[in-house]
Amino acid sequence: MAIHKKEEFTQKEQDLANFAKAMAHPARIAILKVLAQRNACICGEIVDLLPLAQSTVSQHLKELKNAGLITGTIDGPRSCYCINWKAFEKFNSEFSFLFANLKLKNEKACC
């Protein structure tokens, strides 16, 4: 890439983009589903459920964690992961607001 231009956008735009980026892979969406459906949250269980290698799952978990969508705490030799509902709610409402805001201002498309 020539130069990074992402910084030239507003913080909110960057935040939303980062959130979207974290969700921009089916494996990560599947992981979020697993984390919610069971209260288990153990890395190994996720590995068993997904068609991916352990290291790959670990990488996806790290990205979700970096994006703030999940939290991870060490539980003996295991790692317990859980969804960060607060962040989720925040981004969900931010998205909804964006959509609502857009829709409000321009109900019908011009093309």
Partner DNA sequence: ATCTTATATCGCAAATATACGATAAGACTA
Partner DNA sequence: TAGTCTTATCGTATATTTGCGATATAAGAT
Write each residue from 68 to 107 as x if it is in contact with DNA (CB under 7 A), else as -, in one continuous string: ----x-x-xxxx----------------------------
Q: Show Cβ contacts of residue 100 under 8 Å, excluding neighbours closer than 6 positions.
A: none
Task: Give me the amino acid identity at 6.
Answer: K
Q: How far is the CB of 19 from DNA (least distance, A)?
A: 12
Q: Is 67 in the site for DNA (CB under 7 A)?
A: no
* Residue 97 near residue 91 (C-beta atoms within 8 A): no
Ordered alpha helix ranges (H), 24-107: 26-37, 43-49, 54-66, 85-105
* Positions that interact with its own copies (CB under 8 A): 5-6, 8-10, 13-14, 16-18, 20-30, 32-33, 35-37, 39, 41, 51-52, 71-73, 75, 80-85, 88-89, 92, 95-96, 98-99, 101-103, 105-107, 109-111
Tokens 């990205």 correspond to 63
Residue 72 β-bridge partners: 81
Question: Which residues of this protein are in contact with DNA, per CB under 7 A?
Answer: 1-6, 21, 24-25, 27, 42-44, 47, 52-56, 58-63, 72, 74, 76-79
